[in-house]
Structure 1
Amino acid sequence: MTNPVVHIYTDGAARGNPGPGGYGIVMEWVGKPYRKEFSKGFKHTTNNRMELLAVVDALKKLKKQDVSILVFTDSKYVADSVKKGWVFGWEKKGFKDRKNADLWKEFLVEYRKHKVDFRWIRGHNNHIQNERCDALAVAASKEKRLHIDEGFVE
């Protein structure tokens, strides 16, 4: 029996960068009629933090271990950091002088629980799930009650 496969679509947004921000997530279980959407908004953050936090929080939502995941992101920052192995080099150096080290550390914990691959997609290119994630992220950034991004440092 093969591992379950989940497609995760993510997007982050920040108005001002730094400024109010949010993320959007669409999760689909391949071969099943399962689809969930999530979003969250923050008072003061950056676009890169929201792009990465979307992936971290999506991976945290998986209840089963050892799931095959394909993450679709329009963030070169996130996709390249993993696919090109940069994050593993940063980890070896203790994330010295690295932005968003708190989120990268969280990411690696979740990443290692599953078989995760990344696919970069061009943003704002009529990709249905990416457009939905973008709409969720922007809407989340405009909510009245925004969360505090505890790890954000200017």
Structure 2
Amino acid sequence: MSENIVVIYTDGACSGNPGPGGWGALLHYKEQTKELCGGEMETTNNRMELTAAIKAISALKRRSVVELHTDSTYVKDGITKWMEGWKRNGWKTAAKKPVKNQDLWLALDEAISQHQIRWKWVKGHAGDPGNEKADELANKGMEKFKKKR
């Protein structure tokens, strides 16, 4: 792995779906590591997965080559397979229905525009250290919102 690549692991968590949720991101660049997390009172797991990617990429201070690892096929497939079609179809799915979470897809599209990103799917809860840490951060982000319920 080239040392000029920013390696990011993201995850989202939700209790109830919808319900209180959290997102987490772990960023590695050379010898530096940054941990990010947050949450919302009423959300879904997919919104938290998207938010994790948006927050992680938005934390980059300069144009970067990024390898982003997610356990969400929704995020990976949305950005690599579906988004161009959604744009062409006026943000409608193949079934002519409005794209869910369009606000976050637009924010993600904007966030990635300055970077070269390789999207990698990783199996969740399978012992991958970066994914496990992102999951821990997502749960930490959700915790304070679970207590308010």
Q: Which 5+ residue runs of structure 1 have no aligned equivalent?
A: 147-154
Query: In structure 2, how many angstroms separate the alpha carbons of the residues matched to 1:24 and 1:98?
Result: 24
Partner SS, residue 142 of structure 1: helix
Counterpart of 1:8, as a letter, is I
Query: In structure 2, how many angstroms separate the alpha carbons of the residues matched to 1:77 and 1:101?
Result: 13
**Kept in 2: contact 1:3–1:68 (CA 8 A):** no
* 2:107 maps to 1:106: yes
Show the 5 A alignment for 1:47-58. 47-58=45-56
Q: Deviations over 1:50-79 (max 9, x none)?
A: 0011001111110002x1111000000011
Percent of aligned pairs sharing the same letter = 40
Partner SS, residue 118 of structure 2: strand
Equivalence for 2:83:
87
**Counterpart among 53, 67, 72 of residue 70 in structure 1:** 67
State the shift of 1:16 in Å: 0.3
Query: In structure 2, how many angstroms separate the alpha carbons of the residues matched to 1:20 and 1:144?
Result: 6
Instruction: Identify the structure with the greater helix proportion.
Output: 2
CA 1:145 to 1:48, structure 2 compared with 1: closer, same or farther past 3 Å?
closer
Equivalence for 1:7:
7
Query: In structure 2, how many angstroms separate the alpha carbons of the residues matched to 1:3 and 1:142?
Result: 34
Counterpart of 1:78, as a letter, is V
Aligned residues: 141
- Following TM superposition, the consecutive aligned residue runs of length 4 or more in structure 1 with deviations greater than 6 angstroms are none
The RMSD of aligned alpha carbons is 1.8
TM-score when normalising by structure 2: 0.89
**Kept in 1: contact 2:20–2:146 (CA 8 A):** no
